[in-house]
């Protein structure tokens, strides 16, 4: 069951991404040749207002074909006949829709389970937080140069800066205090800790759900960016990355663990994974890598600055090379995922 849910989740997120391209293309009068649900052999198709809507065999994602890789023609609806800013809007539409989807799902999740306010429920003796005077009930407002809105931001910052001394600003009885903490190594868990832990989630009304929905999306975007920085700086290796196979494994494990607590727990757990995946896909697609939306945006912004189009054949070669490199990376990541499952 977990595998089926993983496929459906991933497909829905990819389709929503493609829907962003589709809707903005239509709004700008660009001809969309095909909008497909799924991949592989064709099961069903119907043409409507110049677009062929397809259902394909494999329920893994979808596609929006609008001629961005084709040569320019004299047609008014041709992708390349539109202004550079219209084309930028269309290409950026996919990642933007991923962030919109992540926000919608975040609001639903927070309305269901509440939000994790950055308040120290417990402060452990013998750890830096207690020694610096932080007490239960104190609110953490900043750690390092990062403003804190939810408790997980504290845990994630500590995870990405293991053992590093950091300035922590907290609020006690309405007054702000700043202390310098050096995480202490926990021998049992083999992890550097500040010694504070969170309590139960706070219930959220409509406006709080909207507010913390934004914080949730921001958290996952920042976490994805920080992970990429660690990868670039070689603090983590490619072997620690997960692809589709690894994601399926995580979804299946999460489903198995949450199913014993009831349907609502399963829904909340799947929503949390969907938010992560949607925000992650949005960020990854904005990377300035050829063949990705971000790579296409680089060429379009260069065109906007130069006020001159880059020859399509040259851009096509760059995207082809980028696509080949991405496929090679996917093979490596998939191999690592399969190896982890076997070992």
Tokens found for residue 44: 């069903």
Instruction: Record the tokens describing residue 19, joined without a space.
Output: 């829907």
Give the CB-side neighbour count of residue 110, counting CA atoms within 13 A.
26
Residue from 99, 91, 27 nearest 301 by CA: 91
Phi-psi region of 61 (alpha: psi -120 to 50; beta: other; left: phi over 0): left
CA dist 173 and 155 (Å) reads 23
DSSP secondary structure, 225-274, as one string: HHHHHHHHTTSS-GGG---HHHHHHHHHHHHHHHHTT-HHHHHHHHHHHH
* 196, 123 contact by CB (below 8 A): yes
Say how far apart CA 25 and CA 68 lie, in whole Å.
11
Listed as own residue / partner, the contacts of 189-192 with beta carbons closer than 8 Å and 24 or more positions apart are 191/162, 192/158, 192/162, 192/163
Report the alpha-carbon distance of residue 305 to residue 2 in Å, rounded.
Answer: 48
* Cα angle: 190, vertex 273, 288; to 5 degrees: 90
Catalytic residue among 18, 68, 216, 315: 18
Query: Annotated catalytic, 18?
Result: yes
List the one residue out of 321, 214, 303, 244 whose CA is nearest residue 60: 244
Residue 78 corresponds to which tokens in the numbers above? 């041709």
**DSSP category for residue 12:** H
Catalytic residues: 18
């Amino acid at each position: 069951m977990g595998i089926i849910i993983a496929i459906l989740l991933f497909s829905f997120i990819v389709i929503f991404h493609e829907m962003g391209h589709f809707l903005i293309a239509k709004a700008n009068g660009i001809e969309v040749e095909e909008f497909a649900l799924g991949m592989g052999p064709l099961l069903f198709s119907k043409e409507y207002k110049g677009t062929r809507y397809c259902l394909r065999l494999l329920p893994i994602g979808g596609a929006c074909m609008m001629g961005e890789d084709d040569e320019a023609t004299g047609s008014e609806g041709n992708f390349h006949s539109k202004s550079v800013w219209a084309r930028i809007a269309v290409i950026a539409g996919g990642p933007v829709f991923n962030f919109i989807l992540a926000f919608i799902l975040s609001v639903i999740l927070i309305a269901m389970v509440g939000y994790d306010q950055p308040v120290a429920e417990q402060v452990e003796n013998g750890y830096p937080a207690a020694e610096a005077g932080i007490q239960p009930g104190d609110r953490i407002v900043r750690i390092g140069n990062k403003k804190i809105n939810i408790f997980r931001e504290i845990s994630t910052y500590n995870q990405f800066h293991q053992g590093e001394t950091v300035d922590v600003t907290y609020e006690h009885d309405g007054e702000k205090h700043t202390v310098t903490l050096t995480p202490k190594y926990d021998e049992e868990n083999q992890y550097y800790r500040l010694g504070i832990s969170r309590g139960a989630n706070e219930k959220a009304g409509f406006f709080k759900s909207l507010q913390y929905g934004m914080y949730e999306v921001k958290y996952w975007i920042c976490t994805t960016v920080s992970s990429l920085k660690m990868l670039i700086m070689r603090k983590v290796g490619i072997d620690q990355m997960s692809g589709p196979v690894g994601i399926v494994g995580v979804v299946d494990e999460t489903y198995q663990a949450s199913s014993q607590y009831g349907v609502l727990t399963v829904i909340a757990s799947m929503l949390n994974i969907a938010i992560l995946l949607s925000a992650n896909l949005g960020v990854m697609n904005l990377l300035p890598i050829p063949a990705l939306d971000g790579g296409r945006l680089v060429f379009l912004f260069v065109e906007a600055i130069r006020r001159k189009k880059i020859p399509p054949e040259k851009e096509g070669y760059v995207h082809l090379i980028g696509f080949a490199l991405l496929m090679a990376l996917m093979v490596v990541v998939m191999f690592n995922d399969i190896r982890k499952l076997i070992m």
